[in-house]
Structure 1
Amino acid sequence: MPSKKRVLIPAYYFPPYGTVGVFRLAKFIEYLPKFGWDPYVVTPVSDHYLDTESVHKFPNTLEAIEVIEQTDIWGGTMISRGLGSFNASDSLKRKTLQGAWVPSLVQQLLSTIQEYDIDVILGSGGPFLPLTALPVVKRRTSTPYVIDLRDPWVQPNGDTDGQHLLLRLKKKMGQILEPQVVRGASEILTVTEKLTSQYQSRYPKQSQKFTTIHNGYSPADFELIEPEPSDRFRITYPGKWYGREHAQMFLKGFERFVNDHDAELVHYGTKNTEIQTLIEELGLKCHVLSRGYVDRQTVAATTKGSNVGLVISRTSNDLPTKVFDFIGCNVPILAICDPGSILDEFIKQFRNGYSVPKRSPDEINSVLSDIWETGPTALGDTNQVSEYTIESTTKKLSTVLNRAIE
């Protein structure tokens, strides 16, 4: 058997720490050995993380890793204390710590490449600042790198004049740093066709480097989970409420729906006082169950016992990770989003994927009533759903990594 190739993965967030963004990278790592790649990981020590541990531990991912190197963050303790004394926001602390990690990251990447004869580097963002280490390392070692952009580094469109100073600074830094990282990359991944198109328009000379690889789901995470039953029509929403405006149109549509139907909305995630007030104002207290944070298996059991999974987008570029968990559970999906958005176009490909404009509570009520009447039990057929398994997306990633080292 030929020896496996070696991919080095710098990851600011890595299990057991990190937000939903860590799922994509963790699952890639789990399946890469199946396609001839040994993953090597560089990540910071956990001392300076401002985030709590994830409830999902990714044991298969950790088992798949050949070597994990942990580095300190330069001046991390001083940065945390200094910004804390000025009552700086957690967001500013995170961005500062991510930037401060870059010098240590460069040194560790150089050391690991020399010690283990690495073939290629795979960097994922956000966070984006650690990606700036990759062109530096490439100049020193000639090791090619691939970047995986889960979100736009620089948000498209929009005037920054009315934005907070820190947001304007963040955008300006992105406009300076992003081109350097993009031009030095051998291959570039994005998670949607629309994001790929946006990047190709911005970098026409680099357009051939871009490949779309969607997020995905692992069948093993869902197939043995028994559905949590309910006597009511159930909608499951695992996600964050981003303020009153984000939630109120759906909740108004849901209010109209429960006037004629016995239904419940099960929410997993941070409880929001503003949203709880809105729920009470709309008379939905007996219909909305807020369960806080729990492990993915519990969410999956609730989802598998649901009539529909709910997704509410924030921007036209959103394709939330929870969509792929719903695909894994093979339940109908209701997306509240802008017409023509990435989420709208993606959901409509499925037989029982429903998309409703954000500001249409009457239409939300109408679509929920149609789902009640027709009673669909699955999102789509087996072939359509299996297209989005992590194994199939990692196979595409392996092809991209091989191109990078040719």
Structure 2
Amino acid sequence: MKKVLIISYYWPPAGGPGVQRWLKFAKYLPEYGIEPVMYVPKDPHYPLKDPSLVAEVPENIKVLENDIFEPYSLAGIFSKKDTHKISSGIIPAEAKQGFLQKMLLFIRGNFFIPDARKFWVKPSVKYLTTYLRENGIDNIITTGPPHSMHLIGKQLKETLDVRWIADFRDPWTGIGYHKKLKLLPSAEKKHLKLEKAVLDAADEIIATSFTTAREFEQLTKTPVTVITNGYDYEEVDLLPQDVKFSLSHIGSLLSGRNPNLLWEALRELISENEDFAEDFQLKLIGAVGEPVLESIRKAGLGNNLFIRGYVSHQEALQLQRSSQLLLLIEIDTPETRGIIPGKLFEYTVSNRPILAIGPEKADIQKIIQETNTGVFFLYSEKEKMKSFILERYREFKSGTLSSHPIGLQKYSRKTLTGELANLLKKPA
């Protein structure tokens, strides 16, 4: 059986969407005649943990662990809260940043390039050079962010006769928060230089969105393939369907994702319809930014608001399927057009309609439309959002509210793993 070494920072017990992609690929690759070997850090500084995912790690998979030094452990001496947020990619708006946050962002952006896991590169290259030689493995995959994982792949490629695939779950310099890192010109130049070097040195590049793929194709001649995230229809103990007409957002909802016109539309529906006011519930599951909560309460939705913090992956699936409507929000900037949240695919198989909001020409719009799983709106389309919600509410009252998806199979984790396997078997 062909072997492939997969270098990933995120692995159970890490929580959040970053761990799901390669956990599922590792699960299905053996069915395509490929044996995955995972290389992950030992006792890393994960901003989110979900111990329940440990049980999903295939029993027969080999997992290599190596010690990692992370400066976040030292930065936590000054402020664990701020350090935790920044390590999670949660960057407050400029006006909301205190001196300590600004200082941590400046240090993060200018001294830890490409990221704070850079100190794992050198020991990893040393360890893996020996391992790859001794075990005759000549295919490696790196997945980022953190993009320092790609630097490991680049150095292994330069040292050994290996075929290297670089998987970008998110863009590098094109990601939304890159501009918030208070980069000096020299640091920005170094980021761009490293990104270009990685793109050019890899044998193949994988992007998770159509927009990111197009952007990479403008930067390099290396072949770029789109393999999105997907769903793995998991059996969970179903909760009863919500009695309330619930609009649920599952996952972090931070200040950049704050659709004020949606809150206004809901306020108008509540004031215009007594039954709607009684039935409606806005459910926010996960971390919620204070500016978002302020906007919701200012809109008069406080009495209809239900908040719950971070939940396990299994609980998230249960809450998705028990909701009436599912809310998906992406930041309203051109940089986020290529962001396709992993939860979108879980939403599509929940059998619940999706109300999605995002920037013009967003990739999520294409997927929602082609799968017939909901409706996508621009931030400015208040009246259209209002009409959609009211129509779904009438279906809720009549007992007919449901989703009617088509063509979802192409986004199943097993199908997507087949695409990855074809890439691995592609002649050099």
The answer to whether the 8 A contact 1:33-1:64 is kept is no
Structure 2: how far apart are the matches of 1:227 and 1:170?
A: 50
Structure 2: how far apart are the matches of 1:158 and 1:59?
A: 33
Q: Which amino acid aligns with 2:154?
A: P
Q: Which amino acid aligns with 1:135?
A: K
What's the secondary structure of 1:310's corresponding residue?
strand
1:63 aligns with 2:59: yes
Distance 1:388 1:8, change over 3 A: same
Corresponding position of 1:275: 292
1:311 aligns with 2:328: yes
Distance 1:170 1:346, change over 3 A: farther
The answer to whether the 8 A contact 2:166-2:205 is kept is yes
Distance 1:40 1:21, change over 3 A: same
TM-aligned CA deviation for residue 331 of structure 1: 2.0
Structure 1 segment 157-172 matched on structure 2, within 5 A? 165-166=182-183, 171-172=188-189
Structure 1 segment 256-335 matched on structure 2, within 5 A? 256-259=268-271, 260=273, 261=276, 262-314=279-331, 315-335=336-356
Encode CA deviations 1:196-225: one digit per residue, 9 max, x unaligned: 12211222x32xx11111111111x2x443
Corresponding position of 1:377: 402
Structure 2: how far apart are the matches of 1:159 and 1:116?
A: 38
Q: 1:250 aligns with which of 262, 267, 270?
A: 262
The answer to whether the 8 A contact 1:254-1:364 is kept is no
Structure 1: how far apart are the matches of 2:168 and 2:408?
A: 24
Corresponding position of 2:40: 43
Q: 1:108 aligns with which of 115, 123, 127?
A: 127
Structure 1 segment 125-136 matched on structure 2, within 5 A? 125-136=144-155
TM-aligned CA deviation for residue 365 of structure 1: 1.1
TM-aligned CA deviation for residue 371 of structure 1: 2.1
The answer to whether the 8 A contact 2:248-2:327 is kept is yes
Encode CA deviations 1:125-163: one digit per residue, 9 max, x unaligned: 111122112121112111111111111112189996xx6
Q: 2:5 aligns with which of 8, 14, 18?
A: 8
What's the secondary structure of 1:380's corresponding residue?
coil
Encode CA deviations 1:227-262: one digit per residue, 9 max, x unaligned: 432222121101222217624232222222333222
Greater shift, 148-157 or 114-123, is seen at 148-157
Corresponding position of 1:237: 249
Corresponding position of 1:89: 104
Encode CA deviations 1:31-69: one digit per residue, 9 max, x unaligned: 1111111111222221x5152422541423242422x22
TM-aligned CA deviation for residue 376 of structure 1: 4.1
Structure 1: how far apart are the matches of 2:215 and 2:139?
A: 26
What's the secondary structure of 1:40's corresponding residue?
strand
Structure 2: how far apart are the matches of 1:234 and 1:11?
A: 37
Q: Which amino acid aligns with 1:147?
A: A
Distance 1:125 1:159, change over 3 A: closer
What's the secondary structure of 1:339's corresponding residue?
coil
TM-aligned CA deviation for residue 9 of structure 1: 1.0
The answer to whether the 8 A contact 2:257-2:329 is kept is no
Structure 2: how far apart are the matches of 1:201 and 1:38?
A: 33
What's the secondary structure of 2:200's corresponding residue?
helix
The answer to whether the 8 A contact 2:6-2:140 is kept is yes
Distance 1:133 1:318, change over 3 A: same
Distance 1:190 1:244, change over 3 A: closer
Greater shift, 190-199 or 140-149, is seen at 190-199
TM-aligned CA deviation for residue 269 of structure 1: 0.4
TM-aligned CA deviation for residue 120 of structure 1: 0.5
Aligned residues: 389
1:396 aligns with 2:419: yes
TM-aligned CA deviation for residue 324 of structure 1: 0.9
Encode CA deviations 1:2-48: one digit per residue, 9 max, x unaligned: xx1111011122111253212111111111111111111222221x5
TM-aligned CA deviation for residue 167 of structure 1: 7.3
The answer to whether the 8 A contact 2:171-2:212 is kept is yes
Distance 1:368 1:55, change over 3 A: farther
Distance 1:58 1:248, change over 3 A: farther
What's the secondary structure of 1:122's corresponding residue?
strand
Structure 1: how far apart are the matches of 2:75 and 2:415?
A: 46
Corresponding position of 2:94: none
Structure 2: how far apart are the matches of 1:158 and 1:211?
A: 24
TM-aligned CA deviation for residue 326 of structure 1: 0.5
The answer to whether the 8 A contact 1:253-1:363 is kept is no
What's the secondary structure of 2:370's corresponding residue?
coil
Q: 2:21 aligns with which of 17, 21, 24?
A: 24
Distance 1:51 1:168, change over 3 A: farther
Corresponding position of 2:370: 349
Unpaired runs of 5+ in structure 2? 80-99
Q: 2:143 aligns with which of 116, 124, 140?
A: 124
What's the secondary structure of 2:230's corresponding residue?
coil
Structure 2: how far apart are the matches of 1:302 and 1:402?
A: 39
Distance 1:140 1:80, change over 3 A: same
TM-aligned CA deviation for residue 394 of structure 1: 0.4
Structure 1: how far apart are the matches of 2:178 and 2:9?
A: 30
Corresponding position of 2:87: none
Q: Which runs of 4+ in 1 moved over 6 A?
A: 156-160
Structure 1: how far apart are the matches of 2:226 and 2:34?
A: 20
The answer to whether the 8 A contact 2:12-2:51 is kept is no
TM-score (norm 1): 0.87
Percent identity, aligned pairs only, is 23
Q: Which amino acid aligns with 1:71?
A: N
Corresponding position of 1:217: 231
Distance 1:369 1:109, change over 3 A: same
Distance 1:367 1:85, change over 3 A: closer
The answer to whether the 8 A contact 1:352-1:378 is kept is yes
